[in-house]
Chain A
Amino acid sequence: MPTTSLSLTETPLLAGILRRADDALILGHRLSEWCGHAPMLEEDIALANIALDCVGQARSFYTYAAEVAGEGLTEDDFAYRREAGQYRNCLLVEQPNGDFAGTIVRQVLFSAFIDPYYRALVSSRDATLAAIAAKAEKETAYHLRHSGEWLIRLGDGTDESHQRARAALDELWPYTGELFEVDAAEAALIEAGTLPDPRALRVEFDATLDHILTEATLTRPAGGWMQSGGRAGRHSEHLGFILADLQYLQRAHPGATW
Protein backbone atom coordinates (compact mmCIF):
# COMPACT_ATOMS: atom_id res chain seq x y z
CA MET A 1 0.00 0.00 0.00
CA PRO A 2 1.52 3.37 -0.99
CA THR A 3 2.31 5.98 1.64
CA THR A 4 0.51 8.83 -0.05
CA SER A 5 -3.01 9.94 0.71
CA LEU A 6 -5.68 8.68 -1.60
CA SER A 7 -6.63 10.91 -4.51
CA LEU A 8 -10.25 10.16 -5.31
CA THR A 9 -12.73 11.19 -7.92
CA GLU A 10 -15.94 10.84 -6.00
CA THR A 11 -18.89 9.81 -8.07
CA PRO A 12 -22.26 10.33 -6.37
CA LEU A 13 -22.49 6.58 -5.67
CA LEU A 14 -19.02 6.47 -4.11
CA ALA A 15 -19.80 9.53 -1.96
CA GLY A 16 -23.05 7.91 -0.85
CA ILE A 17 -21.30 4.68 0.14
CA LEU A 18 -18.56 6.57 1.99
CA ARG A 19 -21.09 8.46 4.10
CA ARG A 20 -22.44 5.21 5.45
CA ALA A 21 -18.99 3.63 5.75
CA ASP A 22 -17.41 6.61 7.53
CA ASP A 23 -20.32 6.98 9.98
CA ALA A 24 -19.91 3.33 10.94
CA LEU A 25 -16.11 3.37 11.19
CA ILE A 26 -15.82 6.57 13.24
CA LEU A 27 -18.61 5.59 15.63
CA GLY A 28 -17.07 2.12 15.96
CA HIS A 29 -13.69 3.70 16.74
CA ARG A 30 -15.19 6.02 19.34
CA LEU A 31 -17.00 3.14 21.06
CA SER A 32 -13.85 1.02 21.04
CA GLU A 33 -12.18 3.71 23.18
CA TRP A 34 -14.38 2.48 26.05
CA CYS A 35 -12.81 -0.97 25.93
CA GLY A 36 -11.34 -1.56 29.39
CA HIS A 37 -12.83 1.69 30.75
CA ALA A 38 -16.60 1.15 30.92
CA PRO A 39 -18.39 1.56 34.26
CA MET A 40 -18.90 -2.20 34.60
CA LEU A 41 -17.79 -5.40 32.91
CA GLU A 42 -21.09 -6.13 31.16
CA GLU A 43 -21.14 -2.66 29.66
CA ASP A 44 -17.51 -2.93 28.62
CA ILE A 45 -18.44 -6.04 26.65
CA ALA A 46 -21.60 -4.44 25.25
CA LEU A 47 -19.84 -1.31 23.97
CA ALA A 48 -17.06 -3.39 22.42
CA ASN A 49 -19.72 -5.58 20.77
CA ILE A 50 -21.49 -2.56 19.30
CA ALA A 51 -18.13 -1.18 18.14
CA LEU A 52 -17.40 -4.50 16.43
CA ASP A 53 -20.75 -4.44 14.61
CA CYS A 54 -20.04 -0.89 13.43
CA VAL A 55 -16.54 -1.72 12.18
CA GLY A 56 -17.94 -4.82 10.46
CA GLN A 57 -20.58 -2.70 8.70
CA ALA A 58 -17.87 -0.20 7.72
CA ARG A 59 -15.77 -2.99 6.19
CA SER A 60 -18.69 -4.15 4.04
CA PHE A 61 -19.28 -0.61 2.77
CA TYR A 62 -15.55 0.07 2.15
CA THR A 63 -15.20 -3.21 0.29
CA TYR A 64 -18.03 -2.09 -1.97
CA ALA A 65 -16.51 1.41 -2.27
CA ALA A 66 -13.26 -0.20 -3.44
CA GLU A 67 -15.17 -2.22 -6.05
CA VAL A 68 -16.96 0.91 -7.28
CA ALA A 69 -13.78 3.01 -7.34
CA GLY A 70 -11.75 0.32 -9.14
CA GLU A 71 -8.02 1.00 -9.66
CA GLY A 72 -7.13 -1.94 -7.46
CA LEU A 73 -8.10 -0.17 -4.26
CA THR A 74 -9.01 -2.15 -1.15
CA GLU A 75 -11.14 -1.45 1.92
CA ASP A 76 -7.96 -0.50 3.82
CA ASP A 77 -7.08 2.28 1.37
CA PHE A 78 -10.31 4.06 2.31
CA ALA A 79 -9.86 3.68 6.04
CA TYR A 80 -6.14 4.42 6.25
CA ARG A 81 -5.24 6.69 3.36
CA ARG A 82 -7.78 9.48 3.43
CA GLU A 83 -7.26 12.84 5.15
CA ALA A 84 -9.85 14.27 7.54
CA GLY A 85 -11.26 16.47 4.75
CA GLN A 86 -11.99 13.36 2.68
CA TYR A 87 -14.05 11.74 5.42
CA ARG A 88 -17.82 11.99 4.85
CA ASN A 89 -19.13 11.05 8.32
CA CYS A 90 -21.62 13.19 10.18
CA LEU A 91 -20.26 15.32 13.03
CA LEU A 92 -22.35 13.45 15.62
CA VAL A 93 -20.29 10.24 15.49
CA GLU A 94 -16.93 11.97 15.94
CA GLN A 95 -17.96 13.78 19.12
CA PRO A 96 -15.90 12.69 22.14
CA ASN A 97 -17.32 9.97 24.39
CA GLY A 98 -17.81 12.38 27.28
CA ASP A 99 -19.20 10.66 30.35
CA PHE A 100 -21.24 7.45 30.07
CA ALA A 101 -24.44 9.47 29.58
CA GLY A 102 -22.81 11.31 26.67
CA THR A 103 -21.90 8.04 24.94
CA ILE A 104 -25.38 6.60 25.52
CA VAL A 105 -27.18 9.71 24.23
CA ARG A 106 -24.96 9.80 21.12
CA GLN A 107 -25.75 6.12 20.54
CA VAL A 108 -29.50 6.59 20.96
CA LEU A 109 -29.55 9.56 18.56
CA PHE A 110 -27.53 7.77 15.90
CA SER A 111 -29.29 4.41 16.29
CA ALA A 112 -32.76 5.99 16.14
CA PHE A 113 -31.74 7.32 12.73
CA ILE A 114 -29.62 4.53 11.25
CA ASP A 115 -31.92 1.65 12.21
CA PRO A 116 -34.86 2.81 10.07
CA TYR A 117 -32.36 4.02 7.43
CA TYR A 118 -30.90 0.52 7.00
CA ARG A 119 -34.39 -0.98 7.00
CA ALA A 120 -35.28 1.32 4.11
CA LEU A 121 -31.96 0.61 2.37
CA VAL A 122 -32.92 -3.09 2.25
CA SER A 123 -35.26 -2.10 -0.63
CA SER A 124 -32.46 -0.39 -2.59
CA ARG A 125 -32.20 -1.13 -6.31
CA ASP A 126 -28.49 -1.62 -5.64
CA ALA A 127 -28.21 -5.30 -4.66
CA THR A 128 -24.94 -4.89 -2.72
CA LEU A 129 -26.22 -2.00 -0.61
CA ALA A 130 -29.43 -3.93 0.04
CA ALA A 131 -27.45 -6.97 1.21
CA ILE A 132 -25.23 -4.94 3.56
CA ALA A 133 -28.30 -3.21 4.99
CA ALA A 134 -30.20 -6.49 5.53
CA LYS A 135 -27.29 -7.66 7.67
CA ALA A 136 -26.79 -4.37 9.48
CA GLU A 137 -30.40 -3.61 10.39
CA LYS A 138 -30.60 -6.67 12.64
CA GLU A 139 -27.58 -5.32 14.53
CA THR A 140 -28.72 -1.72 14.82
CA ALA A 141 -32.06 -2.88 16.24
CA TYR A 142 -30.06 -4.28 19.16
CA HIS A 143 -27.96 -1.11 19.47
CA LEU A 144 -31.09 1.02 19.69
CA ARG A 145 -32.70 -1.23 22.27
CA HIS A 146 -29.58 -1.40 24.41
CA SER A 147 -28.83 2.33 24.40
CA GLY A 148 -32.54 3.16 24.74
CA GLU A 149 -32.83 1.01 27.86
CA TRP A 150 -29.77 2.73 29.33
CA LEU A 151 -31.09 6.20 28.59
CA ILE A 152 -34.33 5.34 30.39
CA ARG A 153 -32.34 4.13 33.39
CA LEU A 154 -30.17 7.25 33.43
CA GLY A 155 -32.96 9.77 32.82
CA ASP A 156 -35.32 8.12 35.27
CA GLY A 157 -32.53 7.36 37.74
CA THR A 158 -30.90 9.63 40.29
CA ASP A 159 -30.80 13.43 40.15
CA GLU A 160 -27.18 13.17 39.09
CA SER A 161 -27.81 10.69 36.24
CA HIS A 162 -30.86 12.66 35.08
CA GLN A 163 -28.90 15.89 35.01
CA ARG A 164 -26.02 14.30 33.06
CA ALA A 165 -28.36 12.69 30.54
CA ARG A 166 -30.15 15.99 30.01
CA ALA A 167 -26.89 17.88 29.59
CA ALA A 168 -25.68 15.34 27.01
CA LEU A 169 -28.96 15.56 25.12
CA ASP A 170 -28.76 19.36 24.99
CA GLU A 171 -25.15 19.26 23.85
CA LEU A 172 -25.57 16.62 21.13
CA TRP A 173 -28.98 17.67 19.80
CA PRO A 174 -27.55 20.29 17.38
CA TYR A 175 -25.74 17.45 15.55
CA THR A 176 -28.96 15.62 14.64
CA GLY A 177 -29.99 17.96 11.81
CA GLU A 178 -27.13 16.76 9.65
CA LEU A 179 -28.49 13.20 9.67
CA PHE A 180 -31.39 14.32 7.49
CA GLU A 181 -29.42 16.50 5.06
CA VAL A 182 -29.56 15.71 1.35
CA ASP A 183 -27.32 17.38 -1.26
CA ALA A 184 -27.82 17.37 -5.04
CA ALA A 185 -25.71 14.26 -5.62
CA GLU A 186 -27.57 12.29 -2.98
CA ALA A 187 -30.91 13.54 -4.29
CA ALA A 188 -30.11 11.92 -7.63
CA LEU A 189 -29.35 8.60 -5.92
CA ILE A 190 -32.61 8.84 -3.99
CA GLU A 191 -34.45 9.56 -7.22
CA ALA A 192 -32.86 6.48 -8.79
CA GLY A 193 -33.94 4.25 -5.89
CA THR A 194 -30.34 3.56 -4.84
CA LEU A 195 -30.59 5.26 -1.45
CA PRO A 196 -33.58 5.99 0.79
CA ASP A 197 -34.56 9.58 1.50
CA PRO A 198 -33.46 10.36 5.07
CA ARG A 199 -36.04 13.17 5.28
CA ALA A 200 -38.78 10.54 5.06
CA LEU A 201 -37.42 8.94 8.26
CA ARG A 202 -37.85 12.06 10.39
CA VAL A 203 -41.28 11.07 11.71
CA GLU A 204 -40.09 7.66 12.85
CA PHE A 205 -36.92 9.16 14.36
CA ASP A 206 -38.96 11.65 16.40
CA ALA A 207 -41.45 8.99 17.49
CA THR A 208 -38.71 6.58 18.62
CA LEU A 209 -36.99 9.33 20.58
CA ASP A 210 -40.21 10.49 22.18
CA HIS A 211 -41.01 6.93 23.22
CA ILE A 212 -37.62 6.58 24.94
CA LEU A 213 -37.39 10.11 26.30
CA THR A 214 -40.86 10.04 27.84
CA GLU A 215 -39.97 6.93 29.83
CA ALA A 216 -36.66 8.56 30.70
CA THR A 217 -38.51 11.64 32.02
CA LEU A 218 -36.58 13.75 29.51
CA THR A 219 -37.88 15.94 26.72
CA ARG A 220 -36.79 16.20 23.12
CA PRO A 221 -35.10 19.57 22.61
CA ALA A 222 -37.03 21.85 20.29
CA GLY A 223 -35.50 22.34 16.82
CA GLY A 224 -32.95 25.10 17.18
CA TRP A 225 -29.76 25.84 15.28
CA MET A 226 -28.10 22.80 13.73
CA GLN A 227 -24.43 22.02 13.12
CA SER A 228 -23.43 20.97 9.60
CA GLY A 229 -20.37 20.25 7.45
CA GLY A 230 -19.28 16.65 8.06
CA ARG A 231 -20.76 15.32 4.81
CA ALA A 232 -18.71 17.92 2.90
CA GLY A 233 -15.53 17.10 4.80
CA ARG A 234 -15.67 20.07 7.20
CA HIS A 235 -15.09 18.34 10.50
CA SER A 236 -14.59 19.30 14.11
CA GLU A 237 -11.00 19.11 15.37
CA HIS A 238 -11.86 15.76 16.98
CA LEU A 239 -11.69 13.80 13.73
CA GLY A 240 -8.01 14.66 13.21
CA PHE A 241 -7.14 13.13 16.58
CA ILE A 242 -9.19 10.02 15.79
CA LEU A 243 -7.41 9.55 12.45
CA ALA A 244 -3.98 10.14 14.01
CA ASP A 245 -4.73 7.19 16.24
CA LEU A 246 -6.58 5.05 13.70
CA GLN A 247 -4.15 5.56 10.81
CA TYR A 248 -0.85 5.71 12.68
CA LEU A 249 0.36 2.22 11.87
CA GLN A 250 -0.39 2.32 8.15
CA ARG A 251 1.02 5.83 7.81
CA ALA A 252 4.23 4.91 9.64
CA HIS A 253 4.59 1.43 8.10
CA PRO A 254 2.65 1.44 4.82
CA GLY A 255 1.18 -1.92 3.89
CA ALA A 256 2.12 -3.54 7.20
CA THR A 257 0.23 -6.79 7.84
CA TRP A 258 0.34 -9.43 10.56
Chain B
Amino acid sequence: MTPAEADLARRAHTAAATVCDPEIPVLTIADLGVLRDVTVADGRVEVAITPTYSGCPAMDVIGIEVQTALAQAGIPDARVRLVLSPAWTTDWMTEAGKAKLTAYGIAPPAGKASRRALFGEERVTCPHCGSSATEKVSEFGSTACKALWRCRACREPFDYFKCI
Protein backbone atom coordinates (compact mmCIF):
# COMPACT_ATOMS: atom_id res chain seq x y z
CA MET B 1 0.00 0.00 0.00
CA THR B 2 1.14 3.52 -0.75
CA PRO B 3 1.23 6.02 2.15
CA ALA B 4 -2.01 7.56 0.82
CA GLU B 5 -3.68 4.13 0.72
CA ALA B 6 -2.43 3.28 4.22
CA ASP B 7 -3.93 6.53 5.45
CA LEU B 8 -7.22 5.73 3.70
CA ALA B 9 -7.23 2.24 5.28
CA ARG B 10 -6.67 3.76 8.72
CA ARG B 11 -9.53 6.23 8.29
CA ALA B 12 -11.78 3.45 6.98
CA HIS B 13 -10.89 1.22 9.93
CA THR B 14 -11.70 4.00 12.40
CA ALA B 15 -15.09 4.53 10.75
CA ALA B 16 -15.92 0.80 10.51
CA ALA B 17 -14.92 0.26 14.14
CA THR B 18 -17.73 2.58 15.30
CA VAL B 19 -20.47 0.27 13.93
CA CYS B 20 -22.41 -1.43 16.71
CA ASP B 21 -23.81 -4.92 16.78
CA PRO B 22 -27.55 -4.56 16.04
CA GLU B 23 -28.50 -7.14 18.70
CA ILE B 24 -26.06 -5.99 21.40
CA PRO B 25 -25.84 -2.26 20.76
CA VAL B 26 -23.32 -1.59 23.56
CA LEU B 27 -20.66 -3.50 21.63
CA THR B 28 -18.96 -2.32 18.47
CA ILE B 29 -17.98 -4.86 15.83
CA ALA B 30 -14.37 -4.12 16.83
CA ASP B 31 -15.12 -5.03 20.49
CA LEU B 32 -16.66 -8.29 19.28
CA GLY B 33 -13.81 -9.22 16.97
CA VAL B 34 -16.26 -9.33 14.04
CA LEU B 35 -14.27 -6.62 12.21
CA ARG B 36 -11.30 -8.56 10.82
CA ASP B 37 -9.42 -6.39 8.36
CA VAL B 38 -9.54 -3.23 6.29
CA THR B 39 -7.49 -3.11 3.10
CA VAL B 40 -7.19 -0.83 0.09
CA ALA B 41 -6.57 -2.11 -3.42
CA ASP B 42 -6.61 0.16 -6.50
CA GLY B 43 -8.01 2.94 -4.35
CA ARG B 44 -11.02 0.88 -3.25
CA VAL B 45 -11.60 0.03 0.40
CA GLU B 46 -12.47 -3.54 1.37
CA VAL B 47 -13.71 -4.37 4.87
CA ALA B 48 -13.57 -8.00 6.00
CA ILE B 49 -16.09 -9.13 8.61
CA THR B 50 -16.71 -12.59 10.07
CA PRO B 51 -19.94 -14.03 11.50
CA THR B 52 -20.12 -15.18 15.12
CA TYR B 53 -22.33 -18.12 14.05
CA SER B 54 -22.96 -19.56 10.55
CA GLY B 55 -26.58 -18.43 10.58
CA CYS B 56 -26.07 -15.06 12.28
CA PRO B 57 -28.86 -12.91 10.81
CA ALA B 58 -27.07 -9.70 11.83
CA MET B 59 -24.38 -9.95 9.15
CA ASP B 60 -26.39 -8.27 6.37
CA VAL B 61 -27.28 -5.34 8.63
CA ILE B 62 -23.68 -5.04 9.83
CA GLY B 63 -22.48 -5.00 6.22
CA ILE B 64 -24.90 -2.21 5.30
CA GLU B 65 -23.99 -0.21 8.41
CA VAL B 66 -20.27 -0.51 7.67
CA GLN B 67 -20.86 0.89 4.18
CA THR B 68 -22.99 3.69 5.64
CA ALA B 69 -20.38 4.57 8.29
CA LEU B 70 -17.65 4.70 5.64
CA ALA B 71 -19.78 6.77 3.29
CA GLN B 72 -20.40 9.25 6.11
CA ALA B 73 -16.63 9.42 6.64
CA GLY B 74 -16.24 10.38 3.00
CA ILE B 75 -15.33 6.91 1.71
CA PRO B 76 -17.98 5.87 -0.84
CA ASP B 77 -18.45 2.47 -2.51
CA ALA B 78 -16.46 0.40 -0.02
CA ARG B 79 -16.77 -3.33 -0.44
CA VAL B 80 -17.70 -5.62 2.46
CA ARG B 81 -16.37 -9.15 2.31
CA LEU B 82 -17.55 -12.02 4.49
CA VAL B 83 -14.74 -14.27 5.70
CA LEU B 84 -15.21 -17.60 7.51
CA SER B 85 -11.61 -18.45 8.26
CA PRO B 86 -10.19 -18.34 10.84
CA ALA B 87 -13.45 -19.10 12.62
CA TRP B 88 -14.61 -16.43 15.06
CA THR B 89 -13.96 -17.16 18.70
CA THR B 90 -14.99 -15.35 21.89
CA ASP B 91 -11.25 -15.09 22.63
CA TRP B 92 -11.23 -12.17 20.17
CA MET B 93 -13.60 -10.13 22.28
CA THR B 94 -11.72 -7.21 23.83
CA GLU B 95 -11.49 -6.75 27.61
CA ALA B 96 -13.26 -3.41 27.20
CA GLY B 97 -15.99 -5.25 25.32
CA LYS B 98 -16.41 -7.78 28.14
CA ALA B 99 -16.69 -4.99 30.70
CA LYS B 100 -19.35 -3.26 28.57
CA LEU B 101 -21.30 -6.52 28.30
CA THR B 102 -21.36 -6.98 32.09
CA ALA B 103 -22.51 -3.39 32.60
CA TYR B 104 -25.29 -4.06 30.06
CA GLY B 105 -26.50 -7.10 32.04
CA ILE B 106 -25.01 -9.85 29.87
CA ALA B 107 -22.44 -12.19 31.41
CA PRO B 108 -19.33 -12.19 29.19
CA PRO B 109 -17.81 -15.45 27.94
CA ALA B 110 -16.02 -17.17 30.82
CA GLY B 111 -12.50 -18.39 30.18
CA LYS B 112 -10.82 -19.58 27.01
CA ALA B 113 -12.64 -21.19 24.13
CA SER B 114 -10.94 -24.54 24.48
CA ARG B 115 -12.82 -27.70 23.60
CA ARG B 116 -14.80 -28.98 26.54
CA ALA B 117 -16.04 -32.41 27.44
CA LEU B 118 -19.49 -33.35 26.13
CA PHE B 119 -21.19 -32.37 29.38
CA GLY B 120 -18.70 -29.98 30.96
CA GLU B 121 -19.36 -27.70 33.93
CA GLU B 122 -19.38 -23.94 33.40
CA ARG B 123 -18.98 -21.26 36.04
CA VAL B 124 -20.72 -18.04 35.20
CA THR B 125 -20.90 -14.92 37.37
CA CYS B 126 -24.21 -13.05 37.62
CA PRO B 127 -23.82 -9.69 35.82
CA HIS B 128 -26.37 -8.11 38.19
CA CYS B 129 -25.12 -9.01 41.69
CA GLY B 130 -21.77 -10.71 41.07
CA SER B 131 -22.78 -13.97 42.71
CA SER B 132 -21.41 -17.21 41.30
CA ALA B 133 -24.47 -19.15 42.53
CA THR B 134 -25.92 -19.32 39.02
CA GLU B 135 -27.50 -22.03 36.89
CA LYS B 136 -28.13 -22.59 33.21
CA VAL B 137 -31.76 -22.52 32.12
CA SER B 138 -31.16 -23.22 28.44
CA GLU B 139 -28.15 -23.69 26.18
CA PHE B 140 -29.78 -21.28 23.73
CA GLY B 141 -30.97 -17.71 24.28
CA SER B 142 -32.39 -14.69 22.48
CA THR B 143 -29.64 -14.81 19.84
CA ALA B 144 -27.40 -17.58 18.51
CA CYS B 145 -24.44 -16.33 20.55
CA LYS B 146 -26.16 -16.34 23.95
CA ALA B 147 -27.46 -18.86 26.51
CA LEU B 148 -30.12 -18.32 29.16
CA TRP B 149 -29.06 -18.40 32.82
CA ARG B 150 -30.48 -17.37 36.17
CA CYS B 151 -28.96 -16.27 39.46
CA ARG B 152 -29.93 -18.18 42.60
CA ALA B 153 -28.77 -15.28 44.82
CA CYS B 154 -30.61 -12.28 43.34
CA ARG B 155 -33.18 -14.44 41.46
CA GLU B 156 -32.69 -12.49 38.24
CA PRO B 157 -32.51 -14.20 34.85
CA PHE B 158 -29.69 -13.10 32.55
CA ASP B 159 -28.11 -13.78 29.17
CA TYR B 160 -24.69 -15.41 29.02
CA PHE B 161 -22.48 -14.84 26.00
CA LYS B 162 -21.47 -18.41 25.08
CA CYS B 163 -17.81 -19.27 24.98
CA ILE B 164 -16.89 -20.74 21.58
Contacts and interface: CB of A to CB of B under 8 A. Distances in A.
Interface of A: 42-43, 45-46, 49-50, 52-57, 59-60, 127, 130-132, 134-136, 138-139, 141-142, 144-146, 148-149, 208, 211-212
Contacts, number: 81
Interface in B132-158: 137-142, 144, 148
A242 B28 CA distance: 39
27 contacts: A42-B148, A45-B138, A45-B140, A45-B148, A49-B141, A49-B144, A50-B140, A52-B53, A52-B144, A53-B54, A53-B55, A55-B55, A56-B51, A56-B53, A56-B55, A56-B56, A130-B85, A131-B85, A131-B87, A132-B84, A134-B86, A135-B85, A135-B87, A135-B88, A142-B162, A146-B140, A149-B119
A59 B54 contact: yes
A141 B162 CA distance: 12
Interface of B: 51, 53-57, 84-89, 115, 118-119, 137-142, 144, 148, 162, 164
A127 B51 contact: no
Nearest to A61: B54
Given A45-B138, A131-B87, A138-B164, A145 B118 contact: yes
Q: Name the prevailing secondary structure of the A interface residues.
A: helix
Given A42-B148, A53-B54, A55-B55, A135 B118 contact: no
Given A42-B148, A145-B119, A148-B118, A135 B140 contact: no
A136 B54 contact: yes
Given A52-B144, A53-B53, A56-B54, A46 B139 contact: yes
Contact of B87 (A45, A49, A134): A134
Given A134-B85, A135-B87, A42 B119 contact: no
A45 B142 contact: yes
A42 B138 contact: yes
Nearest to B56: A56
Given A42-B148, A149-B119, A52 B55 contact: yes
Contact of A127 (B54, B85, B87): B85
Contact of B137 (A42, A144, A149): A42
Contacts of B53: 52-53, 56, 135, 139
Contacts of A131: 84-85, 87
A208 B139 contact: no
